[in-house]
Each structure stands twice: as structure tokens, then as C-alpha cells.
Amino acid sequence: MRLLGLGCALLAILREQRTRALEPGVATPRAGLMVEGAVRLVGGSGPHEGRVEVYHAGEWGSVCDDQWDERDAAVVCRQLGLPGRVRAWTWARFGEGAGPVWVDEGGCTGNELALSECERAPWGQHDCSHREDAGVSCDPHSEGAVRLVGGSGPHEGRVEVYHAGEWGSVCDDQWDERDAAVVCRQLGLPGTALVSRELEFGPGSGFILLDEVACGGWESALRQCGHSEWGRHDCSHLEDAGVVCKGGPETQPPALGPPVRLVEGEGWREGRVEVLVAGEWGTVCDDGWSDKDAAVVCTQLGLPGPARALGMAFFGEGSGPIHLDNVKCSGWERALGQCAHLASHEHNCRHSEDAGVVCGEHAEPARLGDHPGDAAAQLAGPLSELCGRRLANHRRKRIVGGTKSLRGGWPWQASVWVRAGPHTESRLLCGATLISSCWLLTAAHCFKRLGTGGAFYTVRVGDHHRLVRDRAERELRVERIVVHERYSPTQHVHDIALLRVSTLHTGPDGAEGSGGPVGGTCVPFSDAVRPACLPSRREHLSRRHHLCFITGWGDTGRSYARTLQEARVSVLPGRLCRLRYGGRFEGGRMVCARGSRPPTPTDTPRDASDNSRVGGQWGRQQTMQHGGGGGGEGAGDSCQGDSGGPLSCQESLRGADAPPGGGGGGGRWVVAAVTSWGHGCGERDSPGVYTRVSRYIAWIHRVTAIQSLQ
């Protein structure tokens, strides 16, 4: 109880510091409330920016700007409870300090909760002067925020949008009620949206940031609409757009709490929960998040049926403030605002803990694609008819080097994990491909370090978010591992292996399975778990006729991706691969591929001698927004954690089976290759190298006795 009391007291002190720091004109909180490592901002135009000062040994001192960057600034803003875009400043941007220089050579990763948690030189040890004092700006506005200016109330005015740290107006070219409706929705103002009369709210005076806006009317934010490139226009401020949100706050019935919305889901019934507070959308922390809380969110949105709570940023991380934490609903409330929770902005969370919900989870059953027919009947058919079939859904989301996969979008994707020990947690080792109920295909190099004893490993199928137990997810024991007898770990040839799984180990409730395969079945198939087809022995991959993707949970540059990633790749001619890799590339047994566009070079090495590193990490991209609101295609590369995973290609349909208009496509998906090796990650002229599966069909049949997956 005493420890709990001390923790509460410390939390109260930190909250008091945060509150005082946010008060305009208050430069220094009361000395009696200072704790070691506290930070403050001094000399800025407001409480959101200034010279960084740290409290140590009873005295405030500055921070040297050596190696100071946005990651350090993000930690300072988080410690002060200031959300939004961050910027690091050097060379005493906010004036020179007068006390000691306490911190030098700071090295934050960006995920710490306080500056004192970051690596640094010992307190007071530095080679700096106050001309090098570091500063930060904690921008309170998120990218793409909107506001209404010049009206009689918050429900009307000239539209201004926030981009790259500046507010600017929107040109009225093609501006109509659909665009106005999106603005009102983003501001949480329900009712009818009207386009204002010309210059009804006066001309702006700053930047004109958007032109040619073309919303469909369903978007949740103006930045999601099509538009010209930011800042590019042919307008004057005489053409500034405005809106009137009829049924604004002065005519609305008493609110039950702040508006909520769901974003980044695969449909309108699911997504990350965001709440509108003080005109800005922010997320909810998943501390204590339960199905009762999810039910209230669904009730508020008018979505009946069972509700499921999801945490750990299941639908991706938000980028704005975190508005709510420790939400405690009874389940009967009509709105999230009626539930108990910490006050807005009082939290100890990161966006990796953003809460999500699924409303009426079974209301929209999944639909199988590629071939017509009843889903249940298809699941009961022979393997040759069942394999290589995906869910029909063409929605895509942009993410590092590729896209976030849909749940169940790659039902043959599996992963190999090193089992947890007495003092260690289980860890992701490699990708794998389900090719029958009991057999999976992967890379031989995955087992160099720990060997081929099945007791060391488990296999997961039906997984999407690797930190959240999915409904379709199963964990399986490994009964047998067969590495190709001619595998060479030094030359990387014959880099292929087979895994035989046995009993169902755990399901979504974590319960143990029952002994062993029943009737020869190890994994029951569903729309989210099914095998890939094997290619024919004469399969010839061509860039022209095959649609190919790589999939896995590879490193995004910060950490392993939480959700399954996909990236489209192009198979390259063998002569280009030999030109790059020389004699190490054996065209008959290997294939190389790279993203649709040349990837951005990185400095990350790819060590082919380390089974946990082969394949590197997902190629990092800078995705630039162009006209129409779209972005350039991200180049993909197989990455760390994806070794042994599939390169899946769709067979081309010919003749009467081909879709109208020609061009092939529409056929089954085959596991054309297994991720093996390469140099670097996503580096220009360094494509990934894969083991060609078609050369090993006879070996696969001999080991597994599978004859019906082609």
C-alpha cells in the first residue's frame, strides 16, 4: 500500500508540473514540486515551444544540441503532455540559457516517456556553449486539421487547413456540398453542410494550401479527398472556400459527450477509436479497454450487435493527441463520454496502445474471391479446388514499402516462432507457407542456429496482428522438420525446408488442443486459413504475366510490424540477377525480384550468415503525396522476419476462363518461391533472392505425399 501511495504521489507531482507548464506566463513551477529529470520550455511564443531545460541537482539547466533531432523532441513533448507535430531546433533558436548545460550527446529512440530515459553523456559533462542550446516546438495541431475562421460561431466560416506547420485557405475551384460535408464531419458538426456565398467570411491573408478539392462526401477528413499538390494553385484569396454546418452546436440537443469515429478499419463497422475534443480528433488508450467499452462506442455510432474491443494499435497508430485513458464503461451508457475516464490528455500511453473496436463482428461475412460458389461448399472441396483462394476485397492501405494486408487476405501465410523458455519470451523467427493441412514450406536457413528439433519451435496460422490473438489464429506444435539434403548454408542453394505440424495447440481462448490430428487433419481450413497451391514443375515466372506479392511481419525500420504486410514485386530476368550477384545466383533454382519502383537506398546490412537477419528489413520509403491525394507506389523488398515466407504469384487465366479485356489474372495463387537471401534491404540494384519452388516439386511430393495441390 505504501508503494501505491508513493506512485500516486509521484503521478500527482508530474500532473501538477504538466498543468503548470501549460499555463501561459508561468515560466517555472513551484520549486517544491520539482522532481529530478523534469523538463520545461523557456523563451518561446507560448507554452508549446521554447528552449529545453532540465531539472537536476536542484537547478535548471539547458541541453546541448549535439545530435539533437526530432526523436529527442518527441520525447520532450510527450513528457510535457503536449500532443501534435514536433520539431527540433538547434543553435539557441529560443535564446541562450544562463545556467549549467546539463545534457549533451542525447540519443533518444523517440519511444521513451521522459528525456531522462534516453542515452546521454553523464550529467554536466559536455563540450558546448549556450549558443548550442537545444529547443523544441510541440505543435498542438495535427497534419490536415481544419478550422473555420471569420464566422459568427464555430459552425461556420472560411475553411483553413493545417499543413507543414502552417494554416492556409482552400481555393473554391470545384468546391461543393460534398467537400463541405467532409469539413463539417471532421469538425464533429452534424447536420446539413452548405457552401457559403462568395467571400461571405472574408478573404484570408496567408498561404493558399489546397486547390481542386474533390471529395466523395464519405471521407472523415479533408486530407483524404482528392486535391492538387499542397501549395500548388491558380487562385487568389478572393476565391477562398467557406462552409456553414447547419445544425451546428447552438441548435443541437444536449450532447452526451464528444463525437467518436472509427478509422483505418476494413469496413465502416470497425477501426481505431477517435474522439473529438477541442476541435481535434485524438485516440483512446487501451489501458483497461474491454468489450463493454467497445459496446458503448458501437451504441453511440448506432451500430448494433456484438462488439469486440481490440488494443495494441490493431488498426494502426494514430498521429494526433491521446484524449482518453483508463476508460471504464458499464456497458449501458449511450456515449463514451458518459463513462468514467481520466481527464483529457492525462495518460501514460503511446500510440502503440491505441484502442479499436469491431461492431457487429459477424454482420458482414467474408466473401471468397477468384471463383464463384458457396463459401462453405468450397471449404469442403478437395485441396486442388481449395488451394490458392483469397478473400475478395480490393481495399488497400499505404504503409512502409508496401501495404497493410487485409485480415485473411493471405490465408496460407504462417510464421515460425522460437518457443518461450523459463526466462525468455517466444520470438518470431521466420515466415512459412501452409501447403496442406499438416505441412508448411519455409527456408532451410531458419534452422541453422537451433537445429531441426521440433521441440524448439511452434507455428502460427491465421495470424494477422502478431501481438493480439486473432479469432482465426491457431498455434501448432512442430512434429518434424525436413531440411533439403543438399542445402548449403555457405552458398545458399537448396534453401528450402518442410515442417510437419501435429496437434492443435491453442485457439483464440488459449485452451490446449486435444492430443493429435484427427482423421489426418492437423489444421481445419476456414476463410482465413487455407493452403497455397504448388506451382507446376514447368512453371516459368514472367514479369509480364504474373502478379506477385511478398508477405510477412518484417522490420519497418523501427521495429517488427505488428500486422501482416504485403508488397507487390516484379520478377526480374535471370541475366540481371546474375549481373548483380555473379555465380552465387543459380537461375535454375533461384529467382530474384524487387519492388515495382526502385526503392530508397538504406544503410541496413543484410547478413546472410545469421538466420534471424537473412532478408533484412522492409524497404523504407518516403511516400510523397501528389495531385489527387494519392501517393507514389512504395517499393517492396523481403525483410527481416520474412525469411522463409512466400513469394505468392497469381496464375493467369487463359481462353474462356480469362476475364473480359484480356490481360490474364484472376487465377489461383501459387507459392512460387521462398524468401532466401540478398544484400541490404530495399537497396537499389540489390533485389531479394528466393528459392524457386517449381524445382522442388518432386522432393515435396516425396517427403509429404501431397499430390493434389497443383
How many CB atoms are located within 10 Å of the residue 72 CB?
A: 27
From residue 633, how far is each of 548, 598, 600, 626 by CA, in Å? 15, 10, 12, 11
Cell numbers given for 671: 507459392
Among 428, 662, 627, 660, which Cα is nearest to 545's? 662
Q: Are 346 and 325 in contact (CB under 8 A)?
A: yes
Q: Are 68 and 31 in contact (CB under 8 A)?
A: no
Axis crossing angle, helix 2-22 with helix 70-80, rounded to the nearest 10: 110
* Distance from chain centroid for Cα 294: 21
Cell numbers given for 431: 515466415
How many CB atoms are located within 10 Å of the residue 471 CB?
A: 16
The C-alpha angle with vertex 593 and arms to 483 and 648, in degrees rounded to 5, equals 60
> With DSSP H G I counted as helix, E B as strand and the rest as coil, what are the percentages for the chain, rounded to 5?
15, 30, 55
Beta strands in 199-344 (DSSP E): 207-210, 242-245, 260-263, 270-277, 280-284, 307-310, 322-324
Q: How far apart are CA 157 and CA 169, in angstroms?
A: 11
Q: Are 41 and 52 in contact (CB under 8 A)?
A: yes
DSSP code string of 606-620: --TT-TTTTT--PPP
> Letter for the amino acid at 338?
Q
| DSSP-based three-state secondary structure for 3 | helix
Among 116, 142, 123, 14, which Cα is nearest to 59's? 123
Q: How far apart are CA 676 and CA 484, in angstroms?
A: 14
Q: How far apart are CA 36 and CA 16, in angstroms?
A: 14
- Which residues does the annotation mark as catalytic? 445, 495, 643
Supply φ then ψ for residue 419, to 5 degrees.
-65, 150
Q: How far apart are CA 693 and CA 408, in angstroms?
A: 23
For residues 157-182, one letter each, b for 16 or more C-beta atoms within 10 angstroms of the residue's C-beta and e for the rest, the string is bbbbbbbeeebbbbbbbebeebbbbb
From residue 501, how far is each of 71, 447, 477, 580, 585 by CA, in Å? 43, 16, 6, 38, 32
Q: How far apart are CA 264 and CA 562, in angstroms?
A: 15
Cell numbers given for 403: 501495404
Q: How far apart are CA 407 and CA 309, in angstroms?
A: 16
Q: Are 230 and 625 in contact (CB under 8 A)?
A: yes
* Distance from chain centroid for Cα 308: 20
